[in-house]
Structure 1
């Protein structure tokens, strides 16, 4: 990259070590610098406009530049810019948000606890589950089961839950007490002639066999995203969650629903757990909770868990967990205003109403020589690119074609996410029918520019 040494791009290369990035490649290609956003659009430092087809990182539900959230943050900063929740202290916005989340979450929930990211929340869920079983006199019941291609975060514990090798390689992960079962991708892993329901039954049996092999008395919880997001927007096969839950309940295994991506409308219902009839013991939310205007996440959990935690905190004197920013007043105030906007503008309903158009436009690409599968629900979807549609074989250089498609889309004014050779779409929930059309028109132009001999690039 050629850049003036004092330019913002050159300063980025000189000083900023980026997350989830090839650092050496970044020294060559440099950053795309986004300066502002409005609605579903963002603008780079050259003034070029893009449709943000992934809502930032699956998260900006109410769109960019929402003045009400800026005002809510400013008002809270003037009134009480910071306070904590340790040692019987509290503040109004955290109290109001906890009540709101408990009331709106699926299942019979009792309490909410705040952290600052999905990774932190899933990390705490593991700690909470271990504390819970110790309190019940079951110190051996500590193993956690997740899934291959799951994404639950990047902290030591949450990256262990994550079933994507890149997030574990050379970090000495996963932790030994965390195990993985198969990814529920029917298109990729279903056997010849096997129905979705039979595939779901096979995966439920695999889970039960794993539990029995480890010993039910040693397995504490199952973590799952209603729709697997960063693993490739994998929607579950029919009856999958019904059968997985039955196995967990049979062996007294807690169910943690990671709704960091699916929460607050993405699937066309308020929670993905409602879409798939999941009754979690712990619900994890973040991202669209504040539309990522402020870092905030929450665990919402049922009374069965709360009563045990509370009794044990009384027994040993404290539930000794918390962060400086737990339940931060500015973040919780922004979350309350964000939820007001989602409800007042019926953004959950907007996702449900636009889902048929969104999914139909996705399916238009099914005939492309490189598109193996089209999948999605609500306002989230993906195209899985393959070298051979019949055998589902990948490309000679995994990820190269997906990266090229993302690059071409960016040239056409569309930001999407290439997850290897899977192209993911997840626009802000404020998107209109006209903007859905423009999003896919831009993508269509990009895909049309991809040479059909690019498979070995």
Structure 2
């Protein structure tokens, strides 16, 4: 497919664009040495599940942008809704005593979709700011109810909750904890990653579950049950490697939270708006009624930036108690942005009208089945897939589960081969992670799996020939 050059690119040839990127654009998770040497893949167009670079190459985007292009790219009705709102009202102050109809209608809709009595919504600019808002809301709530000592947070190792200081501190991915940054650690604690594939030696899944629950309760008691305010958890851990916890894990952790008066914060930035076949997965998939849900990504299917912190009637009644004169001194210039809210409303309308949740149930089960066939391949230690969240973990030894040395960058090697064949997967050290758009077809699932199969076999052969892999 020939891609017409957009007007804003008309003054650049390809090499000039690469050099301008290297000279001026500092990316998220900027890898200084690699970017200096290789530059970036410059994307210029998108259509459904496909994206195109400035040279006209087409890629099946099995990453879904960053877990977020849920309804697919290039939707005309989304563009029309956005343009119409820009013409009518491009911005409205979201603070204090001002509102706009799009924000009001979106909050009303989110309250109707969220489980239980999660009827109150604070709109943010994305997932990280939604998590920051949840953290501050927990503080505000505990102070409002006269428990100023109850501020400690428990999360899991190798979680990802965003990239602001607080969100990154709540998350604890080893690869994200670079020494050049500082983290807020004094009231944030972590317990084990609930990854059955990496359970302690000799433990089956049921024993691992009991270990995790006991560890959580022990952590609460060691901190002091009167000091622990909230537990932050992704229902399925996304960037940490698509960690699907043992059956019953989240429900058991929630029960411990109920026992010790601890708020359960479900970070559904990735798992909401259809990725697991439901608008929200906490209750419908994992039988947990959270006190707070954070969401973003699929909320607008990435057409515009928006996030939300959705919380319970119980919290609202405490913080908004009449006669107290309280003010929640927290907000963002662009939260409740009318254009972003219209995009979210149109996105939800499309998901409902096209029954994309039902489609995910069907095509997601097919992806689970097809990806599972990769377990037989060399290099593949584990395949984890729940509907449209998937990960392949590569190991140097299948029996011991030993990883390849970091410097080998096995996930990147396979990703680059896939990219050359027109497939994008996300490399995270020894992992390839996938989160395709909800509109993906069975034929595109086949394309993902067969291309990945080819790349794994080619890399395994290359490593065996160089003596870096024994084939065990």
The TM-score bracket by the shorter chain reads: over 0.9
Aligned residue number for residue 330 of structure 1: 339
> 2-side partners of 1:361 and 1:344: how far apart?
28
How large is the RMSD of aligned CA atoms in angstroms? 1.6
Are 1:398 and 1:421, in contact at CA under 8 Å, matched by a contact in 2?
no
Aligned residue number for residue 99 of structure 1: 108
> 2-side partners of 1:345 and 1:190: how far apart?
44
Aligned residue number for residue 444 of structure 2: 435
Question: Structure 1 pair 182/67, CA: closer, same or farther in 2 (3 Å)?
Answer: same
> 1-side partners of 2:38 and 2:427: how far apart?
17
Per the alignment, in what secondary structure is the counterpart of residue 133 of structure 1? helix
Query: What does the per-residue CA deviation read over 1:112-155, in whole Å, with 9 as the maximum and x for residues that have no partner?
Result: 11000111110111111011111111110000001001100011
Aligned residue number for residue 143 of structure 2: 134
Per the alignment, in what secondary structure is the counterpart of residue 238 of structure 1? coil
> 1-side partners of 2:373 and 2:407: how far apart?
24
- 1:409-420 matched pairs, under 5 angstroms: 409-420=418-429
1:85 partnered with 2:94: yes
2:295 to 282, 285, 294: 285
Shift of 1:412: 0.8
How many pairs align?
A: 453
Per the alignment, in what secondary structure is the counterpart of residue 144 of structure 1? strand
Query: What does the per-residue CA deviation read over 1:213-260, in whole Å, with 9 as the maximum and x for residues that have no partner?
Result: 000100000000010000000001111012101111100000000010
Shift of 1:400: 1.0
Are 1:260 and 1:284, in contact at CA under 8 Å, matched by a contact in 2?
yes
> 1-side partners of 2:38 and 2:335: how far apart?
37
1:239 partnered with 2:248: yes
> 2-side partners of 1:138 and 1:174: how far apart?
21
- 1:31-430 matched pairs, under 5 angstroms: 31-169=40-178, 170-192=180-202, 194-273=203-282, 274-311=284-321, 315-397=324-406, 400-430=409-439
Are 1:399 and 1:419, in contact at CA under 8 Å, matched by a contact in 2?
no
Are 1:4 and 1:10, in contact at CA under 8 Å, matched by a contact in 2?
no
Shift of 1:161: 0.7
Per the alignment, in what secondary structure is the counterpart of residue 301 of structure 2? coil
Per the alignment, in what secondary structure is the counterpart of residue 217 of structure 1? coil
State the TM-score, normalized to the length of structure 2: 0.93
Identify the range of structure 1 (164-173 vs 319-328) with the bigger mean alpha-carbon deviation: 164-173
1:27 to 9, 12, 36: 36
Query: What does the per-residue CA deviation read over 1:170-228, in whole Å, with 9 as the maximum and x for residues that have no partner?
Result: 21114311111000001112431x33222112101100000000001000000000100
> 1-side partners of 2:325 and 2:199: how far apart?
47
Shift of 1:4: 7.3
Are 2:130 and 2:294, in contact at CA under 8 Å, matched by a contact in 1?
yes
Identify the range of structure 1 (54-63 vs 375-384) with the bigger mean alpha-carbon deviation: 375-384
Aligned residue number for residue 4 of structure 2: none
> 2-side partners of 1:41 and 1:360: how far apart?
23
Query: What does the per-residue CA deviation read over 1:54-84, in whole Å, with 9 as the maximum and x for residues that have no partner?
Result: 1000000000111111111101000000002
> 2-side partners of 1:452 and 1:445: how far apart?
11
Identify the range of structure 1 (443-452 vs 49-58) with the bigger mean alpha-carbon deviation: 443-452
> 1-side partners of 2:206 and 2:135: how far apart?
30
> 2-side partners of 1:445 and 1:168: how far apart?
33
**Which 5+ residue runs of structure 1 have no aligned equivalent?**
none
Identify the range of structure 1 (331-340 vs 64-73) with the bigger mean alpha-carbon deviation: 64-73
> 1-side partners of 2:377 and 2:326: how far apart?
62
> 2-side partners of 1:283 and 1:137: how far apart?
23
> 2-side partners of 1:326 and 1:56: how far apart?
22
> 1-side partners of 2:392 and 2:372: how far apart?
9
> 1-side partners of 2:295 and 2:408: how far apart?
29
Question: Structure 1 pair 196/6, CA: closer, same or farther in 2 (3 Å)?
Answer: closer
Are 2:123 and 2:335, in contact at CA under 8 Å, matched by a contact in 1?
yes
1:14 partnered with 2:35: no
Query: What does the per-residue CA deviation read over 1:324-363, in whole Å, with 9 as the maximum and x for residues that have no partner?
Result: 1111000000000000011111111111011221011111
Query: What does the per-residue CA deviation read over 1:234-288, in whole Å, with 9 as the maximum and x for residues that have no partner?
Result: 0011110121011111000000000100101111222221211111000111000
Identify the range of structure 1 (17-26 vs 57-66) with the bigger mean alpha-carbon deviation: 17-26
Identify the range of structure 1 (255-264 vs 157-166) with the bigger mean alpha-carbon deviation: 157-166
**Which 5+ residue runs of structure 2 have no aligned equivalent?**
1-11
> 2-side partners of 1:115 and 1:417: how far apart?
26
> 2-side partners of 1:224 and 1:140: how far apart?
22
Question: Structure 1 pair 399/289, CA: closer, same or farther in 2 (3 Å)?
Answer: farther
